[in-house]
Amino acid sequence: MVENVFVLMPAYNAGATIERVFERIPPQARQRIQQYVAVNDGSKDDTAQALARLQQKFPNLTVLSHDVNRGYGEAEKTLLRFALERGAGVGIVLHSDGQYSPEKIVDLLEPFDRGTADIVQGSRMLGGGALRGGMPVYKFMANKALTALENWAFGMKLAEYHSGYMLYSRKAIETIPWENLSNSFDFDLEMIVLARVKGLRVAEIPIPTIYAGEKSHLRPVKYGLDVLSVILAYRRGKYHAMS
């Protein structure tokens, strides 16, 4: 069973949601989590106050701060640096807006427990529940189209590449040159691409799709263009050169 499990949480203007995300973490998962780490990425709301309240309930919560918003990818880099320095065996990237289910943490850890994966992605597209969970049709179709293109470009067979519910083993964190990757939402996609280049094992576990009014800061058109840019860069050899 994998040890030193860290929960890594980017938080930007998450004051209305972050405490509920922590409340939803099931007891079986809490027993396995050694440390929670949140980075307040230049929030302008009451995220700092919410995190201070959470530290009273979760003594093993460390709060890091960016003075200004640096972007999702840069927030992840701050979290990964901390996890690497503090000896994390697995880093679970859990979003603070509630769209990714904390209830699935134990299931997501299973491939690491079995020793069959270096990276695990919680996939909304496995199991056919994305539309039932409220994913807008246009997002569903865009996800399917981009995934088909990505599978062709990268030579992989994933159900999707666009879930931010990512778990990284220590091996992945040590092996992938993530400091040189995007500061935006395509950071996780680049991590998957470099896992492919490095020969790391990527597993997918089904997760429920949740669209219930949570506020996402991802801009779909920009993200789609960023994905296409990653595909083109891969075909041109950028990521192989980084290895």
The length of the chain in residues reads 243
> Which ranges in the chain belong to alpha helices (H)?
18-23, 27-30, 47-57, 72-85, 105-114, 137-154, 170-175, 187-198, 220-235, 238-242
pLDDT at 161: 96
pLDDT at 133: 72
Dist CA 112 CA 3 (whole Å): 10
Note the pLDDT tens digit of each residue in 31-82.
999 999 999 999 999 999 999 999 999 999 999 999 999 999 999 999 999 9
Dist CA 198 CA 188 (whole Å): 15
> What CATH number was assigned to the domain covering residues 5-242?
3.90.550.10
Q: CA-based angle 221:224:230, to the nearest 5? A: 145
Note the pLDDT tens digit of each residue in 118-157.
999 999 988 776 777 778 888 889 889 999 999 999 999 9
Helices and strands, number each (H, E), in the chain: 10, 7
Task: Calculate the CA dihedral of residues 121, 61, 217, 71 and round it to 10 degrees.
Answer: -90
**Contact call for residues 169 and 112 (beta carbons, < 8 A):** yes
Is it the case that residue 210 has pLDDT exceeding 80? Answer: no
pTM (predicted TM-score) = 0.94
Q: Would you call 23 exposed, middle or buried from its count of C-beta atoms within 10 A (0-12, 13-18, 19+)?
A: exposed
Residue 1 tokens read as: 């069973």
Q: How many Cβ atoms sit within 10 Å of the Cβ of residue 215?
A: 12
* Domain boundaries of the chain, sorted by first residue: 5-242
pLDDT band (50, 70, 90) for residue 217 = low
